[in-house]
Structure 1
Amino acid sequence: MTEQQKKFPEFYVTAPQPCPYLPGRLERKLFTHLTHDKPPELVDRLLTTGFRRSQNIAYVPYCEGCQACISVRVLVNEFQPDRSMRRSWNRNSSLIAQRTAPTPTMEQFKLFRAYIDARHSDGGMADMTILDYRMMVEDTVIETFLTEYRQKPADATDLDFDSWPLKAVALCDRLTDGISMVYSFYDPADADAGLGTYMILEHIAFARRIGLPHVYLGYWIDGSRKMAYKTRFKPQERLGPDRWERVGDGEED
């Protein structure tokens, strides 16, 4: 194999299996391995044109007769939260966010397991072990970071951050034109606090501060209740057959 062949991605297709989002349909994925010998520009190009990253795999839906999965990204500089989003923001005003290197901890894993067991016990992550979680966080060839959200006690100082209750965690990639939210989870005991919404809002604010124009939310699937929340973050762009297409504007609910 020549050096040029090593740098060019080889693509594979998974076998059909039941779609986890649309009953009665089958899903397949087109994927390639992300390795350190692949040019960073190539990896970034994949992740800004519809591919998603899971550990060292970049994948895109490749389903026969179905194009329901659509990549979505928020237009950071134009985004304005609606009324319910502002309520979520205010409700979580005591949370403090801290960016860290992609280093997994047992505290994170316990929160992750509690979240999965409470909300996705029948999903593909139901059997993940501490080793699986470690690989999910660490196995990356690009700039990846964690954001920990902790509840600040009334009498605490910032020096005590690591001892504050951990309420939520987001795993993200930094791309050339935005932040890609890979996976996030939160304390299921606070399910009514709107932590999922809050984490997206906080990353939109973070992207704005550091001058990145997009926050990538992964795939929106029309007809899937699990994915419906992504349509709320407008204005946004959805990836069409040839280009990103603008959809909607922020508005009061």
Structure 2
Amino acid sequence: MTKTALVTGAASGLGYELSLLLAKDNYNLILVDIDAPNLKKVKSELNIAFKCKVDIIIKDLSKPNVALEIYDEIKDISIDVLVNNAGFGLFGTFSGTDWERELDMLHLHILTTTHLTKLFLDGMLKKGSGKILNISSLAAFQPGPLMSIYYASKAYMLSFSEAIANELKGTGVTVTVLCPGPTKTDFQSVVSENNIDNKIAFNMACPSKVAIYGYRAMHKGKTVAIPGRFNKFLSVLPRFLTRNSATSIVRKIQDKNRDL
């Protein structure tokens, strides 16, 4: 029996790469993104390359109640895999950044992700199987000056995923949270309102390899997946430093990265 996966932020980056992996494994796909032209291109590409069925939903996932809109549109379809990937960053001091943009980020990273998980988890529990993959970040492990809301929202995603993964033990449903470091996607080009480029590229990962790592971790039922040895080291480093020290290090990296 063919399984179905729902992927948010599927028009590019990790969402696109994960959609490819799912298509290769013969999942039918429901792809969601605000970027209609690119999402239509992805659908066309997958329809040509694979035999799976691909449906697309054009939605702004940063808006209130969008999770329920998506659920109502496809509630008759059994979802076997939910990938909460959509997200964006915003660079700048908290006092200087745009609140409306930050509100969109909080809705997307926290409310939409949580609500989609809530809505589709029920069906997974009823059939006793399902996989949820939430895309967090290495940023989840420490505070992030100059990207305070982004870092905090990713920390929420990590904590939320770990908690419900524990709750779901023995149900047949697993939750995996993927926490990549810097990855070569469109993320950096939209982080700053001033289009400031990323200056640090020594730890920049390939999106395809990150997606493969997360995909395998999801199928193994692993709870926290951190690709790369250096990233694993960075994730535990705050345990051996004071919170102030860890925060100061992140600030120095951000300053260097943006040449402030």
TM-score (norm 1): 0.26
The structure richer in helix per residue is 2
Q: Return the structure number with greater relative CO, CA threshold 8 A, min gap 6.
A: 1
The structure richer in strand per residue is 1
